[in-house]
Amino acid sequence: MKTKRILFIASLLVLFSICFTVMNRHYDELARYPYVTNENRETIIKHLSNEDINYMISQQLKPEQFLPYIETKGFSLRNTLWYNRAKEIQPAANEIIVAFINDFKNRLDYAGLETLLKAYSYDTLRTFYEEENDYIQNAAIVNNPSALLTLIDENETLYTYEPKKLVSVADLPHVSLVDGKSDIKVSEEVSKPLHELCSNIAKTNNKTCGNLIITAGYISYEDQMPIYESMMLKYGKDEFRRYWDYPGQNEYQLGTLIRFQPVGREDSKVDDQSLSAAQSKDDQEDENEASKLSKWLEENAYKYGFVVRYPKDKEAVTKKLYQPFTLRYVGKDVAESLYQNKNVLNEYKVEIK
């Protein structure tokens, strides 16, 4: 009796094993995946683990989302949405996109990916993330440098950012403060209001652009370096920032900062801020005209969308000495608001964040 019972149990175990083996052979891990086809089945099974397949099914990822990358070196199914978003914003070879997202995903923000990749190339970002910043320790890259009201925090940098649409101001009086550069460019949106401002200030004294010369518009990351070095040598690292900024932190790189200079003061340096410096009697007339021009800009620049970026009474806020002929384009609405409230852009930042 006992022997029969043992044989019965043994036969049940054998039968169970046979059934399990047969069932396992016929188990379809993609049975729950509605997008499987005869064409993509083999590729999916070949390249994805069971864990990946479960993730794919739970997230209902469609084949067209991940199949373009599935054979790319380093492909990770969990980064599929990132790959596609990056390629949509800045098309590139799959190898470049996969490697970039895999390497730097932890330093990226999915919601801010669009503004970042519209401003910087994959190569630029890779270089920035892989190299130490020479000027700012643990610097973060400015995410949206093309925004009209962009401000650069102390721990941020524009790195090698260049505005997409720069136009020359060659038809206006200009002498570039950048050695070796004859042309001056500004962001496209600044050009028309800048011409309007020059046209109207000319009415105050019947002189071209009111007898003002443009000495700076957009200044590239590379062109900022020699100016920064000269300021460092002259004032030291504790004082130079009252006159200039670290390369990558200078608002001239945005293309919306303009620096004028009155005719007759062409030899002044980038740190010549004062209108009250001692002048000879022969220079007094020019100095009086410069004072009138700075007053006009202070009272009228907002009508064209500009503000005096570093006013005399806001040095504690801007951290810069008075620069009466340095204007920042912010658009007419913001410019009027800042003018009426006697604020600078740094103070308006609270409202826009």
**What global pTM score does this model have?**
0.83
Q: What is the pLDDT of residue 266?
A: 56
Specify the pLDDT at position 104.
97
Average pLDDT over residues 321-325: 95
For range 98-122, the mean pLDDT: 96
Neighbours of 347 (CB within 10 A): 14
Residue 217: which of 277, 159, 260, 249 has the closest Cα?
Answer: 260
- Across all residues in the chain, what is the average pLDDT? 88
What would the mean pLDDT of 187-192 be, rounded to a whole number? 98
Q: Give the C-alpha distances (Å, rounded to integers) separating 51 from 27, 63, 79, 272.
A: 16, 16, 15, 66
Q: What pLDDT shows up at residue 133? A: 87
Q: What does the H/E/C string look like for 129-187?
A: HHCCCCCCCCCEECCCCCCCCCCCCCCEECCCCCCCCEEECCCCCECCCCCCCCCCEEE
Average pLDDT rounded to a whole number, residues 304-314: 96
pLDDT of residue 273 exceeding 60? no
The confidence band for 352, taking pLDDT boundaries of 50, 70 and 90, is very low
pLDDT recorded at residue 134: 86
Q: Report helix, strand or coil for 220.
A: coil
SS (H, E, C) 13-68: HHHHHHHHHHHHHHCCCCCCCCCCCHHHHHHHHHHCCHHHHHHHHHHCCCHHHHCC
User: According to the model, what pLDDT value does residue 137 have?
Assistant: 85
**pLDDT band per the 50, 70, 90 thresholds, residue 88:** very high
Report residue 120 as tokens: 């910087």
- 121 and 90 Cβ atoms separated by less than 8 Å: yes
How confident is the model over 140-183, as pLDDT tens digits?
999 999 999 999 999 999 999 999 999 999 999 999 999 999 99
Q: How far apart are CA 57 and CA 328, in angstroms?
A: 52
User: What are the beta bridge partners of residue 141?
Assistant: 157
239 Cβ neighbours under 8 A, 6+ residues apart: none
- Alpha carbons 220 and 250: distance in angstroms, whole number: 9
* Range of lowest pLDDT (35-44, 108-117, 260-269, 271-280): 271-280
Q: What is the reported pLDDT for 238?
A: 86
Q: Report pLDDT for 284.
A: 62
DSSP single-letter state for residue 109: -
Architecture, CATH, for domain 164-274+285-352: 2-Layer Sandwich (3.30)
Residue range 173-197: average pLDDT? Answer: 96
pLDDT of residue 92: 98
CB-count burial class (<10 Å; 0-12, 13-18, 19+) for 141: buried
Phi, psi of 350, rounded to the nearest 5 degrees? -60, -35
pLDDT digits (tens, 9 = 90+) for 288-306: 888 999 999 999 999 999 9
Domain ranges of the chain: 45-131, 164-274+285-352
Q: What is the pLDDT of residues 217-267, one digit of tens each?
A: 999 999 999 999 999 999 998 899 999 999 999 999 999 999 999 987 655
> In which band, very low, low, confident or very high, does the pLDDT at 27 lie, cut at 50, 70 and 90?
low
Q: Which of 139-148, 173-182, 273-282, 337-346 has the lowest mean pLDDT?
A: 273-282
The pLDDT of residue 5 is 59
pLDDT exceeds 80 at position 192:
yes
- Percentage of the chain with pLDDT > 70? 85
Q: Give the CA radius of gyration of the chain.
A: 32
**How many Cα atoms sit within 13 Å of 104 on the Cβ side?**
23
